[in-house]
A = this chain, B = another copy of it.
Amino acid sequence: MSTPTSPQDTFVHGRLINLVRTGQAVTRPLLEQETGLGRKLVAQRVQQSIDVGLLEDGDLAPSEGGRPSRRLRFRSEAGHIFAGLIGAAEITAAVLLLDGTLIASSHEEWAAADGPEPTLAVLDGMFDKLARKTRTEPWAIGIGVAGPVDFTTGRLVDPPIMPGWDGYSVRSWFRDRYDAPVWVDNDVNLMALGEWHRGSPNDGRDLLYILLDTGIGAGLVAGGRVFRGDTGAAGDIGHVHVTDDPASVCRCGQLGCLEAVAGGWGLVRELTPRASESPLLSARLAARGTLTPEDIGRAAAAGDPLAGPAVLRSSRVVGETVANLVNFANPGVVVFGGGALRAGDAAFEMFEATIRRRVTRLAGRQLSVRRASLDFREGVVGAGLLAIENLFRPDSIGLWIEHGTPIGRASYLQRAAAG
């Protein structure tokens, strides 16, 4: 096996693999055509990719005049990605193939407010169990967190619902434990990415994901990439100003934020003192001493006279804000996701109707509004896709191949051998 030595060589090699992986060019002649490289060089690099197990020869492609050529297949099963999603009250872990197919996952309740180190230890324990079960080790790790992330450093920045995490580098924590590259992003960005790649088909159109849960956030995938903005804060719509009502003080300290009026925690604050108006909510409150956003959603789905109208109003207010964002960003698809999905059809219908009423004719003309389709897994799938996207950047993939094998997880192997 010949070894690439120069940066441009490894880049070219990475580019070839990606052309096959993304389906843009899947035969050697098409690769020559797409890259402008000679037949010999393409054949050499393809063979090298086959040797390391990333590509394989498949069936014959239909001839286009010349000799028929073999179709190349990207071996998505060649390696695995570990993905984690850290929410305010729960952690999800998953193992994915190199095309984003989820092959195993687990879920635990956990308060991220307990701080980064204990929380990451829990996620790492979940990774361990999944690794044993699936007999895999990660080529790369993707993590989503419920707060703004400085994408270049992987550090959280002022996360309002993850106190104690400000400035903490999730990437460093995992890098110290795994011989694998780690990428970290905001959870809603990853939900958008997960829905865009693996959710209901969208013809590659720009997708705006709206998370309506305890908090409220948005993620935009435009041109196939997460739109992050200048400092990684894009999509932070929870604190859009929607009212001057003096009762709407937000947990951020401002008045009239969208979250304070329409987010799950805002609804809990509003309905708790009025729980006696609802048999369902007053029973929950008596039994546990507090209400949760989920209590309110389930009560609304059951037709509760207090929770029902409150949830509808929340969907309407969020829909009004989203209509403004649709006018501004003109996405092809708006996806409604998060715990509000459990509040019944009426919540989604109000959301969609409000958007359609408020958007301009041009922005609304080809707009599709739908529910999230990955059964609450879109965030962890998106975290995996983030890792895949970065792992296969042409400038980095060539480097692995120089090392002869993809990146391994030394510490896992040691522990597995010991235990």
Contacts and interface: CB of A to CB of B under 8 A. Distances in A.
Contacts of A232: 330, 362
Contacts of A367: 230
Interface stretch (A86-94, A119-127, A320-328): A320-328
A231 B236 CA distance: 24
Nearest to A228: B330
Interface stretch (A4-12, A335-343, A369-377): A4-12
A11 B32 CA distance: 13
Contact of A237 (B12, B239, B327): B327
A360 B234 CA distance: 11
A229 B320 CA distance: 19
B252 A229 contact: no
Interface stretch (A33-41, A133-141, A277-285, A302-310): A33-41
A230 B358 contact: no
B360 A230 contact: no
Contacts of A361: 158
Copies in the complex: 2
B366 A331 contact: no
Nearest to A357: B254
A358 B328 CA distance: 18
Contacts of A407: none
A222 interface: yes
A233 interface: yes
A281 to B, nearest CB: 30
A158 B229 contact: no
A363 interface: yes
20 contacts: A8-B34, A9-B36, A148-B362, A157-B362, A158-B362, A205-B230, A206-B229, A222-B227, A230-B331, A230-B332, A231-B362, A232-B330, A233-B327, A233-B360, A234-B330, A240-B328, A241-B324, A241-B358, A252-B360, A321-B324
